[in-house]
Each structure stands twice: as structure tokens, then as C-alpha cells.
Amino acid sequence: MAGHRWVRGARVPGVWLLLVVLAGSSLVGCGGRPATDTGKTEVQQVLDRRAAAVLHHDADAYAATGAREDYARLRAVPLEAWSYRVTSVRRDGDALTADAELSYRIRGYDSAPVTVGRALRLARDAAGRWGVTAEQPAKKAAEQLWDQGAVTVVRGEHSLVLGTGQTTARLRAFAGLADDAVPSVSAAWGTDWAGHVVVLVPKSLDGMAALLGSPASSYRGIAAVTTGETGGEADGRTQTPADRVVVNPDAYAMLGAVGRQVVLTHETAHVATRAHTTAATPLWLSEGYADWVGYRDSGRTPRQVAPELQSAVAEGRLPAALPTDADFGFSGDPARLARAYEGGWLACRMIAERWGEVKLDAFYRAVGAHQERAGAVEGALRNVLGVSLPELTADWRAYLRAQLG
């Protein structure tokens, strides 16, 4: 069964959004009569041979299972595992329609598989053998990068960049940004995470949205998002098993050099902290922390990073409380959204300055260790920083006046 998939994103020029997407737990395909158990077994055998051909880089064996062009699109992807599990088969005249779960891992990067729903059409060849004539995402499932065209792969020191419709030079530029982001994040957060990132660069905004299984309008102006599979442990410690930073090349083109680095560093911070980010973690903390890491070495001042909040302070509209999760709603007022992210960033910046970066990290982890939202922040503030929430809020409001007034 597919699991929860979480998504985080960065808006141009520096506002971040958190979405949580529930991958479909039941796959619905085309209509038709249910096939026999024998038909299901035959389809599974075809897909088993197809998976083995992918892993053994055997183009001829893949072609023998049908749809040779699919292999050409994904052949450059360094795969450690690739398998199908047929969940249902229906007869459609002389053809079969099958629903299946595809599970795969990228070598050296995924400690647990990505699992996605796929819909396949099969027909018999002249010798009477079943072969795949088409494979595509299942209904309501997201596309994979190779569904959009041939994948080009660029390896960095701390990154793997996969792209479609992009030049190798541009993919190398993203690898450079990611390679700079990883040590920056480790310097702030520590090294108890994977220490590398996978970056997907589709051709356009539409391609990005398809990879996320959402309309393009949901991500217009979003420079990048980070998605991940749940669960997974490796080397005795909890790790994020299959995270991807997905880039919107259209929005990314609007950013300057500093903005591009900030966005990749922010997204990499989400990868590093996700094992300690839970339902107990408020958005002001998770997004504020990622912003704090992103801007930590940028040289940008609060006035440069928080223009919306600065305007509010100048007009006498000092926030009365830390941003709520509702303040981060992307479909609402963009100025309100900007102030929420800026406020979260300044809260984390203040904690790092007043109590130290080690205490900020410990506070983040302590909040995430709670089983539920109620009391999580209050308990972590008391145990780690030695203050109450009203005291932190008062300090934060004074900090806004001092930094933005």
C-alpha cells in the first residue's frame, strides 16, 4: 500500500509552503471484466521480466516485454531496485488493463523505495505472448520524471541531479548549488542525516506539477519543493528514505544567484530535518528554521529578507503572536503569507542569536519528539530554553521592533 507523501516548497522570492499529500491507497483503472487469476499471474510474470531487464540494463530483454521506448527514457537513472506488484487485472476485449505498484530505489541515495501506482495496457503478440503496449501513472498518481522524456543524469559531490528537457550545463549548475547546500546544512543542523540530495529538474512548470500530481496553478511562482516517502531506518538511525527536491525551472529563472542558493539550501534543510519534523511541529518553526539555514551564510539583513513584515512594523501593525499554521495558507493573501514566513525566520534567528545555534537545534528536535501538537512548543521552550511561550512571544515582538523598526 502506498504511504503518506509530504511536500514542501519555496515561493519566489523567498516564501515557503507546506503541503501534505496522501498517495492513493487504492488504484482505479479503466473499466472492463475482471480477468482470471491466471491472467494476473501472466501479467506479473511479464512485469517481473521487465523489471529484471531494467536492473540488468538489457534493452533487448526489455523490448521482449513490449514498449521499448520506455527503457530508453529511464536507462540513465542509477537504479538499485525496480519491481512491480500487480494489484488488479481486467480484460478489455483482446487486451488487458492492469493496475500495479511500482517500487524503486536510486542507488546510493534511497534507503527505502519510492512506491507509485501505475496503469498498464497489455496485448498478445503474434506468438500469443502478453506484452506491455503502454505504461503510465495510475489515476490520480503523479508522473515519474521518465514519463516526461529521456532523463539526463549529473552527479555532484553531494548530489544527484536528474533532468528532462534541460542542458547538461544547466543540470551541472543545479548540482553545484546542491553541493554547496549540503555542507551548509550540516554545519547548522549536524551530520545525523543522509548528507546528500536528489534534485529533479523537469522541463517546465507543467512538468513540475505533473511530478507532484497537482495542477500547475498550485505551484506557479514556487521555485522548488521537497517531497519524501515516510519511514525507513538505516545504520541504526532514522533517516529520510527517498526525498526529492523538485525544481520549477520557470520560477527558478526569476531568481538571482543568492536567491537560487538560498532556495536549494532551504530545501536541503527540509531533507535534513524531516526525520525530526512531526505533526507536533508548527509551520513557523519548520519553515522558519529552513529559512534560517538558507539565509545563514547569505549576508542578507532582516530588512532585506522581511520586507512585508518591515512594512507592517513601520505602519504600527506589529504581530501580536507567532504565525499560526493558517497564516501559511497559500491560497489566501500573499502579503499575509510572506509575513508568516518572515516571522518564522526571525523567530528562529532570534533563538539562534540569544540562546545559540545548538539550543535552536535542540529546541527543534524537542518539539518534534512530542506525540501531538498540544503542549509541544510549550514543553520544549521550558525544557530547552527555559522560557514560556508568552515570554518568547514578547521577546520576538521586541526583536521585530529592533530589527525592522
Closest of 270, 275, 292, 302 to residue 178, by C-alpha = 270
Distance in angstroms (rounded) separating the CA atoms of residues 327 and 338 = 9
Same domain? For 19 and 147 the reply is yes
Virtual torsion, Cα 145, 53, 57, 2, nearest 10 deg: 30
Residue 297 CB: number of other CB atoms within 10 A? Answer: 14
Q: What is the pLDDT of residue 241?
A: 67
Distance in angstroms (rounded) separating the CA atoms of residues 244 and 265 = 13
Sheet containing strand 152-155, strands side by side: 15-22, 4-11, 222-229, 244-247, 197-201, 159-163, 152-155
Domains in the chain, number: 3
pLDDT band at 222 (very low <50, low <70, confident <90, very high): confident
How does pLDDT run across 145-172, given as a tens digit for each residue?
999 999 999 999 999 999 999 999 999 9
Question: Per-residue pLDDT for 215 more than 60?
Answer: yes
Q: Which CATH number covers residue 157?
A: 3.30.2010.30
Asked if 346 and 309 count as a contact pair (C-beta separation under 8 A), the reply is yes
Instruction: Give domain status of residue 28, yes or no.
Output: no
**What does the pLDDT average to over 324-347?**
88
pLDDT band at 240 (very low <50, low <70, confident <90, very high): low
Same domain? For 283 and 272 the reply is no
**What does the pLDDT average to over 207-224?**
89
Question: Per-residue pLDDT for 21 more than 90?
Answer: no
Q: What is the pLDDT of residue 237?
A: 39
Per mean pLDDT, which range of 32-46, 210-224, 315-329 is the poorest? 32-46
Question: Per-residue pLDDT for 4 more than 80?
Answer: no
Q: What is the pLDDT of residue 334?
A: 81
Q: Which residues contact 224 (CB under 8 A, 6 or more apart)?
A: 9, 10, 245, 246, 247, 248, 252, 263, 264, 267
Same domain? For 214 and 186 the reply is yes
pTM score, two decimals?
Answer: 0.86
Question: Per-residue pLDDT for 346 more than 90?
Answer: yes
**What does the pLDDT average to over 330-343?**
84
Q: What is the pLDDT of residue 229?
A: 63
Distance in angstroms (rounded) separating the CA atoms of residues 279 and 226 = 17
Same domain? For 69 and 153 the reply is no
Question: Per-residue pLDDT for 345 more than 50?
Answer: yes
Domain around 47:
33-140
